[in-house]
Every structure is written in C-alpha cells, then in structure tokens.
C-alpha cells in the first residue's frame, strides 16, 4: 500500500468524525497530526471500539478524555453532564457507531465494501484497546474547546 492510497482511505474517517461530532454535539473539532501508535494504552478515559469486516478487516476506536466527552454528551442531551455514567457510555457507543457508518459510506464510494459489528465501550484511566488486526494502528488526535479525543484505525491490507 502506498501513502496516496492510505490518505484516500483515512479521509472518510476524518470527515465522519468531524461531521458526527459537529452535528450531534455542536462542537467543532480540529484534527491533529496522525501518527502510528506503538502501544495499547488509551489516550483518554472512555473508548468506543467497533470491529470492521469486508474488503478489509480490523477495528476503529474513538477515545475521549473525561472533559471532552462530558461536554459532547452534555451538548447532545441539552443539559450538563458531570460524571461518566451509563448515559455517557451509551452516547460513546452511539457516536462510535455513527462515525463507523459514515466512514463506511465514504469508503463505499471508493469501491470498498465494509460492515461493522456492535460497538463496545471501555472506561477507566489507562485502559487498553486491543485492535484485532496485526497491521499498524493509525492514531489521529483531535482537539475541541472542551478537551481532546483520539481516533484509532487498524485495517488489514488486502492480500
């Protein structure tokens, strides 16, 4: 796989993240510089993880810092949220599902057919995220006025 192809595949993920968070929570997000992640430690307090199968197999995850997800869910619900409760976990699962869905529609326009499973949500400081693909993990940090979150993607290259 080459850099041009990688960039083409990553774009739908970036577009979906920005669109879902700005539409659902009225919060603008700014992507940072993508990097290859070397470990499994999450860069936040709550993570949504979803398996992807089809033309490529792998996983996508979105990890939010506490401050960021409390602001996002508070905006979604229209009232302040002060703790990482079940509403927050449910919202992270739903956001992960929506980001995955929009990404898959974008990738379908590039000729790539993918399906996704049901998202899982993991909470806690320094929790781990296990991606099912043995491929490198691409991480993209995002910033918002209320805190940060990170998108991680690991998809097998076609054989």
Range of the domain at 59: 3-155
Give the pLDDT score at 5: 57
Contact between 27 and 144 under an 8 Å Cβ cutoff? The reply is yes
- Average pLDDT on 4-20 reads 86
- Average pLDDT on 113-122 reads 96
Contact between 99 and 25 under an 8 Å Cβ cutoff? The reply is no
Residue range 53-108, pLDDT digits in tens: 999 999 999 999 999 999 999 999 999 999 999 999 999 999 999 999 999 999 99
159 versus 147: the higher-pLDDT residue is 147
Give the pLDDT score at 3: 46
Taking the C-alpha atoms of residue 144 and residue 156, their distance in angstroms, rounded to an integer, is 30
For residue 34, is pLDDT > 70? yes
Indicate the pLDDT class of residue 30, thresholds 50, 70 and 90.
very high
Whole-number average pLDDT of the chain? 92
Cβ-based burial of 21 (10 A; exposed 0-12, middle 13-18, buried ≥19): buried
Cβ-based burial of 52 (10 A; exposed 0-12, middle 13-18, buried ≥19): buried
Domain count, the chain: 1
- Average pLDDT on 125-149 reads 90
Taking the C-alpha atoms of residue 109 and residue 25, their distance in angstroms, rounded to an integer, is 26
CATH of the domain at 43: 3.40.1550.10
Residue 151, number of CB atoms within 10 A of its CB: 24
Instruction: Please name the residues in contact with 61: beta carbons below 8 A apart, sequence gap of 6 or more.
Output: 42, 47, 48, 49, 50, 96, 129, 131, 151, 152
Chain-centroid distance of CA 93 in Å reads 10
Question: pTM for the complete prediction?
Answer: 0.92
- Average pLDDT on 129-135 reads 82
Cα dihedral 53, 106, 5, 3 in deg (nearest 10)? -100
């Amino acid at each position: 796989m080459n850099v041009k192809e990688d960039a083409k595949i990553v774009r739908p993920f970036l577009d979906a993240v920005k669109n879902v968070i700005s539409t659902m929570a009225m919060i603008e997000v700014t992507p940072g510089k993508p990097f290859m992640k070397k470990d499994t430690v999450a860069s936040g307090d709550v993570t949504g993880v979803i398996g992807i199968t089809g033309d490529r197999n792998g996983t996508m995850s979105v990890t939010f810092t506490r401050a960021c997800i409390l602001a996002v869910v508070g905006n979604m619900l229209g009232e302040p949220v002060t703790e990482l409760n079940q509403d927050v976990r449910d919202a992270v699962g739903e956001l992960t599902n929506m980001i995955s869905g929009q990404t898959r529609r974008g990738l379908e326009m590039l000729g790539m057919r993918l399906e996704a499973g049901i998202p899982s949500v993991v909470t806690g400081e320094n929790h781990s995220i296990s991606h099912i693909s043995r491929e490198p993990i691409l991480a993209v940090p995002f910033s918002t006025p209320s805190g940060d979150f990170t998108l991680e993607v690991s998809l097998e290259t076609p054989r």
